[in-house]
C-alpha cells in the first residue's frame, strides 16, 4: 500500500478531504461531477509533471467560497512500505505565487522530479482513449510518463533537451555565435541521446511484457519505437550541425528525439502485425490501452512502490473483461485507485477494497 492518509486542501471542489486506511484496491463512487476524478488528479500530482489533466496550477485551487479565494491548494500523503511510514510527501502552491508549484518531502523543500525517486504513479483516463489517433506529441508524452515511472531521471533529461533546443532555435534565428551553437548542440545531443535510449528501452520492455500476457480477453498491441533522428550522441550532434540552414528556415529542429513516434498495431492471433491501432474499433483501442497499462504496471511495480489510477475503467468493459482486469490487478504490485458512478461493476473486489462515496467534494467511507 504505497499511499495512506491522503489529504486535499482547497483542491478543485474539495475544501478539506482525507482518505485514510487505504488498501490495495481503492474505489471512489459517486455521480458525475462529484469530485472522484479530482482525487485521482491530486494523487497524480504527487509525481513529476502536470498531472493526469495537464491543468494549469491556477485552475486547480478551489474557488467556490471566499475563504478559498487566495488561489492556493495543498496535497499530501504518507508513503507506506512494509507496513511502516517511509516518507511524507506533498505538493502545494502559495497565495503570493499561485503559478509556482512547490514540493516538500519529509518536511524539507524538494524538486518535483524528486517525487519520482520515492514512488511511481501512472494512470489511464477516458481522455486517453484517442491516444492512437492523437498527435505524435501526445504519444511522446505517453512514453515519457511511462518511462519516468521506471527511470526517475528521465524527466530531467527531457527538460534539459527541451531547454537546449529552445536556446538553439533562438541562436539560429538571431544568427548567434557559432561557438555558442556548438556548445548548445553538444548539450542537445547529450540529453537527446539519453531521452531516445530510455524511450527505446521502455518500448522494448513493454514489448516483452505484452508478449507474455494471454491474448484474451484484451487485444494485444505490438509497439514500435520510431526515432525522430539519430540516437547515438555523436551522430545526433553531427545531424544538428548539418541541419542548421534547414532548421533556421523552418524556425525549429526538424529531426531529433522531439520528433520520436510510438507506433502501435494490433497483433493477430499468431502475433504477426495486423491493423494499425488508429484504424481499429473504439473497443479494440480501449482494450489495447488497458493491455499497455497492465504491462507497464508490472514494470513500474518492480523494486519501487507504485500507484495505478484508473478513471472509469470498468464502466465500458463487459463482465468477462472486468473479471480478468481485476484478476490481473490483484496479482500486481501496484496500489490501485478506481472511480465509478456505482458499486455494481466492482462486485468482484468490494470485499477487499477501501470504498468512499464522493458527493460535491465530500468523502464518506463505506
What mean pLDDT do residues 231-236 have? 97
Per-residue pLDDT tens digits for 185-199:
999 999 999 999 999
Q: What per-residue confidence (pLDDT) applies to 271?
A: 63
Grid cell locating 217: 480477453
248: number of Cβ within 10 Å:
14
Q: What per-residue confidence (pLDDT) applies to 81?
A: 78
Grid cell locating 255: 529531426
User: Which of 257, 203, 266 lies closest to 231, judged by CA?
Assistant: 257
Q: Which of 115-124, 166-175, 221-230 is predicted least confidently?
A: 115-124
Is residue 146 very low, low, confident or very high in pLDDT (cuts 50, 70, 90)?
very high
What mean pLDDT do residues 113-124 have? 90
Is residue 66 very low, low, confident or very high in pLDDT (cuts 50, 70, 90)?
low
Q: What per-residue confidence (pLDDT) applies to 214?
A: 72
Per-residue pLDDT tens digits for 20-33:
999 999 999 999 99
Is residue 1 very low, low, confident or very high in pLDDT (cuts 50, 70, 90)?
low
CA distance 164 to 158: 10
CA distance 202 to 219: 20
What mean pLDDT do residues 99-107 have? 95
Reduced to 3 states, what is the DSSP secondary structure of residue 70? coil
Q: What is the pTM of this model?
A: 0.89
321's CB contacts (< 8 A; 6+ apart) are 217, 218, 287
Q: How far is CA 138 from the centre of its chain?
A: 11
Pairing state of beta strands 25-29 and 353-359?
Answer: parallel
> Which domains does the chain carry?
1-119+305-366 (3.40.50.300)
**DSSP for 304-349?**
S-EEEEESS-STTS-HHHHHHHHHHHHHSSSEEEEEES-SGGGTTT
Grid cell locating 338: 478506481
Amino acid at each position: 500500500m504505497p499511499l495512506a492518509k491522503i489529504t486535499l486542501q482547497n483542491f478543485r471542489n474539495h475544501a478539506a478531504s482525507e482518505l485514510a486506511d487505504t488498501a490495495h484496491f481503492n474505489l471512489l463512487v459517486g455521480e458525475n461531477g462529484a469530485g472522484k476524478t479530482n482525487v485521482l488528479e491530486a494523487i497524480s500530482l504527487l509525481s513529476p509533471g502536470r498531472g493526469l489533466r495537464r491543468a494549469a496550477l491556477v485552475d486547480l485551487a478551489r474557488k467556490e467560497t471566499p475563504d478559498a479565494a487566495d488561489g492556493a491548494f495543498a496535497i499530501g500523503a504518507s508513503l507506506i512500505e512494509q507496513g511502516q511510514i517511509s516518507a511524507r510527501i506533498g505538493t502545494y502552491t502559495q497565495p503570493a505565487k499561485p503559478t509556482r508549484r512547490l514540493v516538500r518531502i519529509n518536511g524539507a523543500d524538494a524538486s518535483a522530479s524528486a517525487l519520482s525517486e520515492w514512488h511511481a504513479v501512472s494512470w489511464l483516463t477516458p481522455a486517453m482513449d484517442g491516444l492512437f489517433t492523437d498527435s505524435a506529441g501526445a504519444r511522446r508524452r505517453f512514453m515519457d510518463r511511462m518511462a519516468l515511472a521506471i527511470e526517475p531521471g528521465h524527466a530531467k533529461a527531457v527538460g534539459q533537451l527541451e531547454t537546449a533546443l529552445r536556446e538553439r532555435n533562438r541562436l539560429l534565428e538571431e544568427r548567434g555565435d557559432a561557438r555558442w551553437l556548438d556548445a548548445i548542440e553538444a548539450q542537445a545531443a547529450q540529453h537527446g541521446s539519453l531521452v531516445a535510449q530510455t524511450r527505446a528501452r521502455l518500448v522494448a520492455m513493454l514489448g516483452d511484457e505484452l508478449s507474455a500476457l494471454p491474448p484474451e480477453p484484451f487485444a494485444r498491441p505490438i509497439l514500435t519505437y520510431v526515432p525522430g533522428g539519430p540516437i547515438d550522441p555523436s551522430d545526433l550532434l553531427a545531424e544538428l550541425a548539418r541541419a542548421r540552414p534547414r532548421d533556421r528556415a523552418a524556425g525549429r529542429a526538424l529531426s531529433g528525439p522531439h520528433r520520436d513516434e510510438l507506433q502501435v498495431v494490433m497483433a493477430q492471433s499468431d502475433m504477426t502485425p495486423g491493423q494499425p491501432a488508429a484504424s481499429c474499433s473504439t473497443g479494440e483501442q480501449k482494450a489495447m490501452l488497458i493491455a499497455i497499462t497492465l504491462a507497464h504496471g508490472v514494470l513500474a511495480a518492480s523494486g519501487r512502490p507504485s500507484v495505478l489510477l484508473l478513471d472509469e475503467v470498468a464502466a465500458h468493459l463487459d463482465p468477462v473483461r472486468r473479471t480478468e482486469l481485476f484478476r490481473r490487478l490483484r496479482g500486481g504490485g501496484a496500489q490501485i485507485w478506481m472511480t465509478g458512478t456505482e458499486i455494481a461493476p466492482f462486485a468482484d473486489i468490494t470485499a477487499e477494497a477501501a470504498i468512499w462515496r464522493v458527493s460535491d467534494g465530500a468523502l464518506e467511507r463505506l
